[in-house]
Amino acid sequence: MATLTEALFLRVLGPAFDTLPGEVRRLHLARGARRYDGEVEVERGSGVLARLMAAATRLPPAGHGAVTVEMEADATRERWVRHIGGRAMPSRLWGARGLLCERLGLVTLGFRLEARDGELHWRVARAAALGLPLPAAWFAGVSAREYAQGGRYHFDVRAAMPLAGLLVHYHGWLHVD
């Protein structure tokens, strides 16, 4: 049984955490304040509804270039600030009822984590906006995966919603030494 002294992602994922590549484990086991630099490519949806929803969750602008991720972790929570294209995308993460919860702007998502084929997959199991529950089915197009390639930590995040279409798709890598 996981304890509060273990890292957040280890507690939520359990023994499957050990099957992940070293680069992914290192990123999620670190405690305290840290900073990771890398590159990212961002595609954004262009519809009015997509732009409004992206603004409500502080999603990054379209483009290609440098990314910096500042993380601060303690025994119960993590704070991430992704700096992409001159904008900050802050979020807070914590564990609840077997889910990894992340608050992005006005939206809180509960992700079910799965280690599969050497990758960490995030899938939405619960969602709320301004504290009001929303149907998780609306978020079926929201997912993330983390993996290692060429000795680097890689990420691939996609968010699409019914009626709005693509909100954002961003992928890239970070130095995690």
**Residue 151 covered by a domain:** yes
| SS3 state at 5 | coil
Segment 151-174, tens digit of pLDDT: 999 999 999 999 999 999 999 999
Domains contained in the chain, number: 1
Q: Which two tokens stand for residue 139?
A: 């978020």
Q: Which two tokens stand for residue 55?
A: 């603004």
Segment 25-34, tens digit of pLDDT: 999 999 999 9
DSSP for residue 15: G
Segment 134-156, tens digit of pLDDT: 999 999 999 999 999 999 999 99
**Residue 1 covered by a domain:** no
DSSP for residue 76: S
Q: Rounded CA gap, 144 and 142, in Å?
A: 7
**Residue 43 covered by a domain:** yes
Q: How many CB atoms lie under 10 A from the CB of residue 146?
A: 23
The structure's pTM equals 0.92
Read off the amino acid at residue 37.
D
**Residue 3 covered by a domain:** no
Q: Rounded CA gap, 158 and 177, in Å?
A: 26
CATH of the domain at 64: 2.40.128
| SS3 state at 75 | coil
Q: Rounded CA gap, 62 and 64, in Å?
A: 7
Q: Are 108 and 128 in contact (CB under 8 A)?
A: yes
Contacts of 166 (CB under 8 A, 6+ apart): 43, 44, 45, 50, 158, 159, 160
Q: Is the pLDDT of residue 1 over 80?
A: no
**Residue 94 covered by a domain:** yes
**Residue 39 covered by a domain:** yes
Domain that includes residue 143, residue range: 8-174
Q: Which two tokens stand for residue 93?
A: 């993460």
Q: Is the pLDDT of residue 2 over 60?
A: no
**76 falls in which pLDDT band (50, 70, 90)?**
confident
**Residue 38 covered by a domain:** yes
